[in-house]
Amino acid sequence: MHPALRETLESVDPEIAELLVAEERRQRDKVRLIASENYVSGAVLAATGSVLTNKYSEGYPTKRYYEGQQYIDRVEQLCIDRAKALFGADHANVQPYSGSPANLAVYFAFLKPGDTVMGMGLPAGGHLTHGWNVSITGTYFRAVQYGVRQDTHCIDLDEVRALAKKEQPKLMFAGGTAIPRTIDFAAFADIAREVGAVFAADIAHIAGLVAGGQHPSPVPVADVVSTTTHKTLRGPRGGMLMCKAQHAKAIDRAVFPGLQGGPHNHTTAGIAIALKEAQQASFRDYAAQIVANAKALAAALVERGWSLITGGTDNHLILADLTPKGVSGKIAARALDAAGMELNYNSIPFDPRKPFDPSGVRLGTPSVTSRGMGPTEMRQIAHWMDAVVTAPTDAALHERISGEVRELCARFPAPGILL
Ligand code: DSN
């Protein structure tokens, strides 16, 4: 945090100040491997902590319900224009508060309660809002779910097509939270067209890879593209929807007034900055390095006997089955955290264990790549991870490794962290 801001915060609320500084230190000293997280730049941090948080702006640029929008309109229009330019979209709505509200707006734009939605099941790597049963999307709508093949753990497009023909969904989602392989958006679009469904591509995890040319873009083939802005795209926590021109009105109406009130203008400014950063040539290098690092990390883990779902990765994300290592995902995740490496336990396809203590862990490289780490550091991280997972109760080992992790992190300063 900027020293002047820290001083102000400490004088007003020392308890929160202490917690913020502790979190900043934690993010500085840990190898952060949660596949959906990142470090935003100092510029994005500055915007999200700005006076734009003071302003209400229901509506859209030039069509607001409150006065005083001279600057907010320009911020939001810049953000919209940058999103359209970066992704080549006809239309962009930058107001969704995050990924789940963005997806809910898609339902509200195209479906009535009880209509059929088809998405990837959560245990196979999908997302709650693609129709999973505990989500509002699986209770207010009739949800049918596709999975992955038992032998390859990859999506079977023949199965998707057969299910779509049988169930006749009005809306089809592709994308998810634990898919380590390239998604064939064009094939999904063909299937959606065959059954007359609206096709929504959820690129929350891979938006930065799409923008950086490391994953085929769904924008030319999807009716709607939804995304968060804070994962590989490296913006503040938020969401965006992009769509074909003919859906622009329906999407805008669904977000506001359908689902949300005033947009979070400080977030919009942060997203606009992140989109500008993503237009730079260096962001293409960043996206390529994310993938190269994930492949290096995956290869080093496989060398150490790790069992990776699909055998490796095409993107930023690795899903490992720890059954052969004789440890559950939760125990491994806790031990790794104690040793300075942060990730999340995760269900694997066909997991015989419960979601709260599953067989797997999910890890990714967006954050370590933002620090400038490369394949050499990935091999070192794999070495530490394997040592910890092999000895999940050895507190002395975890303590020693966490010190080594801190030393590594000190050589790779994290963006936005001034401590
Ligand atoms: N929570 C996000 C993730 O970690 O993938 C998905 O919503």
What does the DSSP assignment read for 105-164? HHHHHH--TT-EEEEE-GGGT--GGGT-TTSHHHHSSEEEEE---TTT-S--HHHHHHHH
Dist. CA 34 → ligand 1 center (Å)? 9
Best substitution site from 33, 36, 237, 361 to test ligand 1's pocket, by max atoms within 8 Å of Cβ? 36
Cis peptide before 257 (omega within 30 of 0): yes
Q: Is it the case that residue 2 has pLDDT exceeding 90?
A: no
Residue nearest atom 5 of ligand 1, based on CA coordinates: 177
Q: Is it the case that residue 237 has pLDDT exceeding 90?
A: yes
Whether 231 is catalytic: yes
Whether 13 is catalytic: no
Whether 369 is catalytic: no
Amino acid letter at 132? W
Whether 30 is catalytic: no
Closest by CA position to 313, among listed 379, 364, 389 = 364
Report DSSP state, residue 360.
Answer: E
pLDDT 10s digits, 370-389: 999 999 999 999 999 999 99
pLDDT 10s digits, 250-265: 999 999 999 999 999 9
Instruction: Report the interhelical angle of 70-87 vs 265-278 (nearest 10°).
Output: 40
Count of helix runs (H) and strand runs (E) in the chain: 16, 15
Check 29, 37, 167, 202 and give the catalytic one.
202
CA distance 180 to 32: 18
For 394-404, what is the mean pLDDT? 98
For 198-204, what is the mean pLDDT? 99
Residues listed for the chain:
419
Whether 140 is catalytic: no
Dist. CA 188 → ligand 1 center (Å)? 22
Report the sign of the C-alpha dihedral through residues 297, 303, 306, 307, in that order.
positive
pTM above 0.95, yes or no: yes
For 396-402, what is the mean pLDDT? 98
- Determine the atom of ligand 1 nearest the C-alpha atom of 37: 4
Q: What is the pLDDT of residue 265?
A: 98
Best substitution site from 129, 177, 343 to test ligand 1's pocket, by max atoms within 8 Å of Cβ? 177
Do 344 and 361 form a contact (C-beta atoms < 8 A)? yes
Dist. CA 103 → ligand 1 center (Å)? 13
Dist. CA 167 → ligand 1 center (Å)? 27
Q: What is the pLDDT of residue 419?
A: 86
Share of the chain above pLDDT 70, in %: 100
Angstrom CA distances, 104 to 92, 109, 219, stand at: 16, 9, 19
- Assign 112 a pLDDT band (cuts: 50, 70, 90): very high
Best substitution site from 205, 232, 343 to test ligand 1's pocket, by max atoms within 8 Å of Cβ? 205
pLDDT 10s digits, 141-168: 999 999 999 999 999 999 999 999 999 9
Report DSSP state, residue 173.
Answer: E
Residue nearest atom 1 of ligand 1, based on CA coordinates: 36
CA distance 228 to 241: 9
Indicate the average pLDDT of the chain.
98
- Determine the atom of ligand 1 nearest the C-alpha atom of 205: 5
Residue nearest atom 4 of ligand 1, based on CA coordinates: 36
Report the sign of the C-alpha dihedral through residues 305, 310, 312, 318, in that order.
negative
For 206-232, what is the mean pLDDT? 98
Q: Is it the case that residue 291 has pLDDT exceeding 90?
A: yes
State the chain's maximal CA–CA distance in angstroms.
Answer: 63
What domains appear along the chain, each with residue ranges and CATH number? Answer: 47-278 (3.40.640.10), 288-410 (3.90.1150.10)
Residue nearest atom 2 of ligand 1, based on CA coordinates: 36
Best substitution site from 34, 37, 127 to test ligand 1's pocket, by max atoms within 8 Å of Cβ? 127
Measured in degrees and rounded to the nearest 5, phi and psi for residue 341 equal -125, 115
Q: What is the dihedral of CA 169, 175, 179, 180, to 10 degrees?
A: 130
Q: In the structure, which protein residues have their CB atom closer than 6 angstroms to any atom of ligand 1?
A: 36, 99, 127, 177
Q: Nearest 5°: CA angle at 229, between 122 and 93? A: 100
- Determine the atom of ligand 1 nearest the C-alpha atom of 100: 7
Q: Is it the case that residue 286 has pLDDT exceeding 90?
A: yes
